[in-house]
Amino acid sequence: MSIKIAVLPGDGIGPEVIEQALKVLKAISEKYDHHFNFCFADIGAVAIDNYGDPYPNDAHDTCLKADAILFGAIGHPKYDNDPKAQVRPEQGLLRMRKLLSLFANVRPIKSYPSLIHLSPFKADHIKNVDIVVYRELTGGIYFGKKGLDDGGQSAYDHCVYSKDEIERIAHEAFKAAQSRRQKLTLVDKANVMATSRLWREVVQEIAPTYPGVKVEYMFVDNAAYQVIYYPQQFDVILTSNLFGDIISDEASILAGSLGMLPSASLGPETALFEPIHGSYPQAAGKDIANPIAAILSTAMMLEYLNLNEEAKDVRRAVRLFLENGFGTPDLKAEKTIECSFSGELLAALVYDKNAEFKIKNIVDSLSTII
């Protein structure tokens, strides 16, 4: 099987974690005799530096021609710290989402028994957490009209949603709930915001077509509390662009590290897969970044491509990696290793069918120094 993957490493630690994800994909290709054709393009600050555009036409063409997109991260302090910057890396990400119609952002959040020590919570509090957030990605306040008035003395950001925009992601979230634990929670601010009241109206119209799914409604301020107070109550969370951004980042504490959380952004013609941790420029070039979120994003990509056994291999490798005490510095692991060696070890665990019984030999064959 030949598959074309657009690879957008981006900024900061993006290139480092994507490099490790590609090691894992190469192991999959060798094991299953697939051919992954990797087509690279720039996005974000690196694209501004090279082309004056955070999402150049060449990058868009590369994405359009690919079967799926693997993306690292965008952002650089020279733009983050300059509120007057006219061209910003984030503009490239928003434009890419809009042009590719990537309307559904899917963020799974799971607790790992071997990482519970990283959480500020007691083990019983976060045991068996398994949540997936469906965040609308191409509407809302991020894409509404924005600007300055009164000579820069006031600013505005308009939040606009159409019924069609809400319907298409709501159906995706309901389908996910059907295949999981049959529960969906709509997170909104319907007591204050007109857009949130439209969300409730649409979800209430759609719900009867999914009779097995229990629907709950929760204001976002309460949801922010409940995600931490009682996370096991959630199965599928459906919400808008801004609320989804905040809630899913907040919930990352349940997994122990932002470096553990993958995501998918789905559209009608293609899909993009990325870790949610951002560019983390302070760690760039130090070989300390956690590549697991990027590697788990490849597992989501493999499922999207109907390579389900291959995706299971990737997740099994991550489980073995963690259970045997390995991890990058953010995981405070028993055996702390570099980003680059993590990628090598995870690729080896993916490739070897008997990895569960041979992990020590695999480690010894890769390096004599942990």
27-69: per-residue pLDDT in tens?
Answer: 999 999 999 999 999 999 999 999 999 999 999 999 999 999 9
- Higher pLDDT residue, 148 or 292? 292
Beta carbons of 24 and 348 less than 8 angstroms apart: no
State the pLDDT confidence band at 333, using cuts at 50, 70 and 90: confident
**Catalytic: which of 55, 134, 142, 304?**
142
Place of tokens 């990482």: 115
Say whether 235 is catalytic.
no
User: Given this model, what pLDDT does residue 151 score?
Assistant: 81
Q: Is the pLDDT of residue 126 over 90?
A: no
Which pLDDT tens digit goes with each residue over 243-286?
999 999 898 888 878 889 999 999 999 999 999 999 999 999 99
Let me know if 249 is a catalytic residue.
yes
One-letter amino acid identity for 326? F
Q: Residue 244 and residue 142: Cα distance in Å, rounded?
A: 12
Q: Which residue, 274, 297, 334, is CA-closest to 10?
A: 274
pLDDT value at residue 80: 72
**Mean local confidence (pLDDT), 286-310:** 97
User: 369 pLDDT band (50/70/90 cuts)?
Assistant: very low
Say what the pLDDT of residue 24 is: 98
Residue 124: active-site member: no
Q: Where in the chain is the domain with CATH 3.40.718.10?
A: 1-103+267-370, 109-260
320/26 Cα distance (integer angstroms): 19
**Whole-number Å distance between alpha carbons of 347 and 67:** 22
With 60 as the cut, is the pLDDT of residue 208 above it? yes
Catalytic residue (one of 23, 79, 134, 189) = 189
Q: pLDDT: is 227 or 334 the higher one?
A: 227
3-state secondary structure of 14: helix
Q: Is 353 a catalytic residue?
A: no
Helices H / strands E in the chain, number of each: 14, 14
Query: Pick the catalytic residue: 221, 312, 332, 364?
Result: 221
pLDDT in tens, 91-103: 999 899 999 999 9
Confidence label for 367 from pLDDT (cuts 50, 70 and 90): low
Residue appearing with tokens 């061209």: 87
| CA distance linking residue 88 with residue 43, whole number of Å | 11
Mean pLDDT of the chain: 92
196 Cβ contact list (under 8 Å, min separation 6) = 188, 189, 190, 240
State the amino acid at position 366 in one-letter form: L
Q: How far apart are CA 221 and CA 189, in angstroms?
A: 8
User: Which fold, 109-260?
Assistant: Isopropylmalate Dehydrogenase (3.40.718)
- Could you report the per-residue pLDDT of 224-254, keeping only the tens digit for each? 999 999 999 999 999 999 999 999 989 888 8
pLDDT of amino acid 113: 84
pLDDT at 210 over 90: yes
Active-site choice (249, 287, 351, 358): 249
Q: How confident is the model at residue 370 (pLDDT cuts 50, 70, 90)?
A: very low
CATH 3.40.718.10 fits 1-103+267-370, yes or no: yes
Please tell me the pTM assigned to this model. 0.89
Q: Which of 11, 235, 245, 352 is catalytic?
A: 245
Tokens of 167: 């319907």
> What percent of the chain stands above pLDDT 90?
77
Among the listed residues 67, 7, 25, 61, the one whose alpha carbon sits nearest the alpha carbon of residue 304: 67
